[in-house]
Amino acid sequence: EIEKYGYGKHNGFSIGFGINWRNFRMDGRSKFVKLDDGTITEEALPAGYDNDFSRIKVFSLTIPVMWKYRTKQVTFGLGPVFNINTYASIKNRYWDADGEKHKQMFKKIHQRPITVDIMAEVSFHNWFSIYGKFSPMTILNSTYANDVNFQPVSFGIYF
C-alpha cells in the first residue's frame, strides 16, 4: 500500500494491491449448477440425497483506492475497491441414498470480469484496523444468473 499525505494536515490517499478469494456457500437441500446453456441456477437435491455443501468461489486481484483522514491516534478511510475477477467456479459435494459420495465441479461460470466494492476502514495506529465492505455490483453476469446472484457484505479485522 502506498499512502500520500499533504492535502492539508490530515487528508491524504492510499492505493494498494492485493488478492481476494471469496466463497459463497450453501449447506441446505439445494446446490448451485451450471446448465447446458451456461445459465447458473439453484437446483434441489433429489429425495434421499444429503448435501455436504455447494459453493461458488471467486478469485480476484484487488486495487483499493482510499481517501484517508488521520489524527494522532486513528485514521479513517473510505473509497472504492476495484476487483479484477480472474476465476470463478462451482463445487458441490453430496451423498446419495446409498451413502456414496459425489462431487460436481463447474468452471467458467460467467463471473463479471470487473466489479467495484465500497470499503470503509478505521485504523488504530500501530495496533489494528477494522473494515466494512459492500459490493453494489452482482458477482455473476446477470445474463447467465438472474435467480442466483448476490451482493456481498463483509466485515473484518486486520493487523
97 vs 106 pLDDT, higher one: 106
Instruction: Determine what percent of the chain is predicted with pLDDT higher than 90.
Output: 83
Cell of 156: 473484518
Mean residue pLDDT of the chain comes to: 93
Taking the CA of residue 118 as centre, how many other CA atoms within 13 Å lie in the half-sphere pointing to its CB?
4
Cell of 142: 446477470
Asked whether the predicted pLDDT for residue 159 surpasses 90, the reply is no
pLDDT digits (tens, 9 = 90+) for 39-97: 999 999 988 899 999 999 999 999 999 999 999 999 999 999 999 999 999 999 999 98
Report pTM.
0.87
Report pLDDT for 147: 82
Helix (H, G, I), strand (E, B) or coil at 126: coil
